[in-house]
Structure 1
Amino acid sequence: MAFNVEWVTLNAMAKATGYTVAALRSKIKRGQLFEEKHWRRAQDGRLLIHVENFNDWLKQ
């Protein structure tokens, strides 16, 4: 079964990319990743990363 996932948790992105959760949080805090483009808060308060936009950011 394949899933097309647009937004993933910080933990899932950390596992997929090798960045630590702390490194991802730091990129958000420093403004390297933009709210609603690269990340957002879910209704339960968890931070989510947009997979495609994050990958585009990596390529810059």
Structure 2
Amino acid sequence: MRYVTVRKFSSDSGYTEAAIRAKIADGTWGKDHVWRKAPDGRVLIDVDGYEAWVEMGKPSTANREDKFRSGQSPGPLMSKGPKLGSPKPLV
């Protein structure tokens, strides 16, 4: 079966239901790619989409860029703080 409930996916994958819902909420798993809502409103996991996400090998940069534009912290890989070891200006 291609689409399974969060509970079934949790049982089969080893992810907790909370971890699955967190990945959905934070955008790690994209709607209509790894999950979707059934006509009755229930969240279903697309097993094929999940496998494609696993094989991708890295998180989607689009999700991180969307968070950056929305004002959320982009995380350490995208922060633009001062570089360590930069020379100090002469006074």
Same fold (TM over 0.5): yes
- Hey, what does 1:14 align to over in structure 2? 10
Runs ≥4 in structure 1, deviation > 4 angstroms?
Answer: none
Structure having the larger proportion of residues in strand: 1
Q: 2:29 aligns with which of 30, 33, 37?
A: 33
Cα offsets for 1:18-56 (capped at 9, x unmatched):
101110000001100000111111111110010011022
Structure 1: runs of 5+ lacking an equivalent: none
Residues of 1 paired with 2:42 and 2:16: CA distance? 16
Residues of 2 paired with 1:41 and 1:53: CA distance? 14
AA in 1 matched with 2:16: T
Q: 2:53 aligns with which of 53, 57, 60?
A: 57
Higher relative contact order (CA 8 A, sep 6+): 1
Select the structure of larger CA radius of gyration. Answer: 2
RMSD: 0.9
